[in-house]
Amino acid sequence: MLNREQYTPGPANIARIQKDRGQNGEEKWTLVLVRELRHSPEKVWEAITDPAHLREWAPFVADGSLGTAGTTVKLTTVGAPAPRVTETTVTRADAPSLLEYKWGDFDMRWQLEAFGGGTRLTLWTNIGHRFIAMGAAGWHICFDVLDHLLSGTPIGRIAGPEAMKFPGWQRLNAEYAKQFGIETR
């Protein structure tokens, strides 16, 4: 395992926001993160659907595979002050290119595209605008951890409150807030 103290997140350059209107006219913000990985779509698909892989990098624990549409899985948020468990049904699973489910109130849509001998991984998730920079910073670090895991140099999961204490998280949060035109929390 790579020494965690050696890890430093890069610049805030993998996320953007989409602003839409909900059914009742309310403002709806979607966080869009794009990361190019040096690994095949099949390998990345396994990492985003298999509970053993998710446990190494994602901000939640899954009690089953997310790789089959119609499957019901319990997702437990990592580091929540009280256990937060949500039951979700995978609504779409087109291996190895598209995965959709809900994580609590968050719509999660993962797209994997073959790109330059690797994979372009895109995540769309709705997050309230007050917390979108925090979400971008957290997912940025999770994607870094995922990349290290897939490269064979795991640094261990960094998620939830632990991520917020990690060197570099505050900088990412501030950079994303500035990029998105919002105040930091």
pLDDT of amino acid 185 = 56
Residue 43 has pLDDT above 80, yes or no: yes
In total, how many domains does the chain have?
1
116-127 pLDDT, tens digit per residue, is 999 999 999 998
User: Is 185 part of any domain?
Assistant: no
pLDDT of amino acid 4 = 77
CATH number of 98's domain? 3.30.530.20
Query: Of 117, 108, 118, 171, nearest to 140 (Cα)?
Result: 171
The 10 Å Cβ neighbour count of residue 18 is 11
Q: What is the mean pLDDT of residues 132-159?
A: 95
Domain with 140 in it:
4-180
User: Is 14 part of any domain?
Assistant: yes
pLDDT of amino acid 102 = 93
Beta-bridge partners for 145: none
Percentage of the chain exceeding pLDDT 90: 75
Quick one: CA dihedral 124, 128, 133, 135, positive or negative? negative
Q: What is the mean pLDDT of residues 142-168?
A: 92
pLDDT of amino acid 80 = 77
The 10 Å Cβ neighbour count of residue 83 is 7
What global pTM score does this model have?
0.93
Reading the block at residue 46, the tokens are 């396994």
Quick one: CA dihedral 108, 109, 110, 115, positive or negative? negative
Q: What is the mean pLDDT of residues 2-21?
A: 86
Q: What is the mean pLDDT of residues 162-174?
A: 91
Q: What is the mean pLDDT of residues 137-146?
A: 96
Residue 2 has pLDDT above 60, yes or no: no
Rg (CA), the chain: 16
